[in-house]
Structure 1
Amino acid sequence: MGLADVRRLEDVVAELRALDYRYGGGSCRVAVESRLPAATALLDGVTKTFVLARLYTAVADLYNLAGWTNFDQDRPAAALAAFARALELAVEAGNDDLQANIRYRVGRLHLHYGAVDAALAEFARGREAALLAGSKLAQAILSANQAWAHAKKGDVTGALAYLRRAREEFADAEWREPSPWAAFFGRTDLAAMIGTVHGELAQVVDVRHGRDGIPALTEAIAGYRRGMTRSRSLTLIWLATVHALDGDLDVAVTVGEEAVELAGALRSPRVRQRLQSLSAAARRFGGNADAGAIVDRIDHLRHSSTIIE
């Protein structure tokens, strides 16, 4: 067992992560989980310290991906178990940057299911690890997600303060090579998070906040490369939701059509669940034909989906 074997495992994780981004967790969850036993067994065959630390990191990241794909498949218990194992291995590897990323992903799971305080606790632990790692990119990711959590609580001041910090940290990180598990978070994803925070504030505080997020959401949608299908779909959902909340229903229909089309093609129950925010925004305008078209399209996707999870 040597460095070449570790590199092969890292390449496998990268390939599976790309499938997850492009097609959703259902496209690769089984493949990820099938590799866990053999990857874990590799840990017993290494004696060289520098190889062992890198191997622990690679196996930890495979478990990290297993957690994320289970989350995307609406399997929270399995996701949390995988994240817990990933964290143990990342600690063993002494990799604070990866620990920060795992904490971020656990926080996102809690946020998705409405456990905002639990999410904030994980983001805070992740920030501690990111500071130890000296990773400005990890700090930016956590700040952006802390902003989202505060937006969900209706805390406008806190949400905007964390967004400002995320921008500053991201600017400090741009010249550094990102780790594989954090490389997704470039300018486009930062823009998406800025738009997401404003969209959340539009839902829970005042619809006017959504208007401030439209330029960032539009920028993100234009910037997502071809392989980032799920991220593009989630951002389209936010843009359609913001327009629907503000009564721009003709625009919401146009944007929502693309969002629903992408959501239907993805093997990602999480994305389809997020469509309910768009449906709820459209339902505020009962009797409007455009609003009804949005609701009907989302209902049709929910009831007719035959995707094998």
Structure 2
Amino acid sequence: MTTTGRIGIAEVERFENAVDVLRALDYRQGGAFSHDAVRVVRSVSLLLDWGAIPGGLRSRLLTMLADLHNLLGWTEFDIGRRVAARLRFDRALGLAAAAGNDGLMANICYRLGRLALHHDDVEGGLNHLRHGQAAAHRSGSLRAQAILTINEAWALAKAGDERAALGSLARAECQFEHADDWATARPWEAFFGTTDMAAMRGTVLTELAGTVASRYSEEAIARLRDAVDGYGAEMSRSLALTLIMLAQNHALQGDFDEAVHTGTRAMDLARGLGSTRTKDRLAPLAALLREHADDPASRDLLARIDSYRAEPAP
């Protein structure tokens, strides 16, 4: 804070940079590694309560605090704390509304949708995603619109609504065609580019392979391989989740040699992450391996998965 007791742009930028560092840590190592963010929340909340903030900076500081609660909600989700995650997201949504930031509101709704979908609440997930779509349209962010549309496709695929899922997937692909014209990404949505779009295409098709017809697994494999090739070490959690789905599709096609090879790679990566989502997302692969447990390699990987999933949460 400045010597006059007023908050200046330097203080706000310092906190924004701290959030960026925490976000990068979350992408790379998972939610269990990002609890230092709580201290930043307390500091910023005190500034908002007691600091003398110029009018032009108050909205920016509110946005930053909303973004931080959004990140904390994601980390709580990642380590299996559903109620705590929902509380953080709700707080983030209120702050983003106070800041008048529709783009951030859209992103928070996307994350609320993902939380619901992870727990198989498809109706709740679709409700959040559609509220997010409205906010994305108000914001004019084409990136936000694409994120929400592709996740809507995933939700519809989980419900087994083939026609609607493919329709949303086609709309998302159309929106993504204009990615070169997108404005510079805000920090909370910067993850979404060519690689994550490929991963989400593969995710939708993987879901359809399980709920509608296994024929979707062939294209899912191609899209997931594209994503695997695109993810670097800075996105280790996304890479692990993508490898899990890739192994699942190989198992659906009856190629258990490749399923075991890819699943082993996913397991090696997942063990270094502070994430329970990887454990949850291994359940379909484990079920497929269990049906093929007469094969020694499949049986060995299944034992590793069962042991990993039985470990206490981080």
One fold, TM greater than 0.5? yes
- Is 1:194 the counterpart of 2:201? The answer is yes
Whole-angstrom distance in 2 between the partners of 1:241 and 1:255:
9
Question: Residue 65 of structure 1: SS of its match in structure 2?
Answer: helix
Displacement of 1:293 in angstroms is 2.8
Whole-angstrom distance in 2 between the partners of 1:34 and 1:203:
42
Whole-angstrom distance in 1 between the partners of 2:237 and 2:174:
26
Question: Residue 26 of structure 1: SS of its match in structure 2?
Answer: helix
Whole-angstrom distance in 2 between the partners of 1:49 and 1:55:
10
Segments of 5+ residues of structure 2 without an aligned counterpart are 1-6
**Alpha carbon RMSD of aligned pairs, Å?**
1.3
Contact persistence 2:15–2:40 (CA under 8 A): no
- 2:191 counterpart (184, 194, 205): 184
Alignment of 1:260-279 (within 5 A): 260-279=267-286
Q: Which amino acid in 1 is paired with 2:127?
A: A
1:151 is matched with: 157
Displacement of 1:14 in angstroms is 0.4
Whole-angstrom distance in 2 between the partners of 1:171 and 1:6:
35
TM-score (norm 1): 0.96
Deviations 1:36-72 (A, max 9, x none): 1211122132442221111110010010011000000
Whole-angstrom distance in 1 between the partners of 2:75 and 2:192:
18
Displacement of 1:287 in angstroms is 2.2
Contact persistence 2:8–2:53 (CA under 8 A): no
Alignment of 1:48-197 (within 5 A): 48-175=54-181, 176-197=183-204
Q: Which amino acid in 1 is paired with 2:56?
A: F
Q: Which amino acid in 2 is paired with 1:12?
A: A
2:210 is matched with: 203
Whole-angstrom distance in 2 between the partners of 1:72 and 1:302:
14
Displacement of 1:202 in angstroms is 1.0
Q: Which amino acid in 1 is paired with 2:273?
A: L
Displacement of 1:286 in angstroms is 4.1
Aligned length: 306
2:43 is matched with: 38
Displacement of 1:233 in angstroms is 0.2
TM-score (norm 2): 0.94
Whole-angstrom distance in 2 between the partners of 1:174 and 1:14:
24
Displacement of 1:272 in angstroms is 1.4
Displacement of 1:115 in angstroms is 0.5
Segments of 5+ residues of structure 1 without an aligned counterpart are none
Q: Which moved more, 1:127-136 or 1:273-282?
A: 273-282
Question: Residue 184 of structure 2: SS of its match in structure 1?
Answer: coil
Displacement of 1:148 in angstroms is 0.4
Displacement of 1:172 in angstroms is 2.1
Deviations 1:182-219 (A, max 9, x none): 00001000000000111111111111111111111000
Whole-angstrom distance in 2 between the partners of 1:169 and 1:115:
26
Contact persistence 1:87–1:102 (CA under 8 A): yes
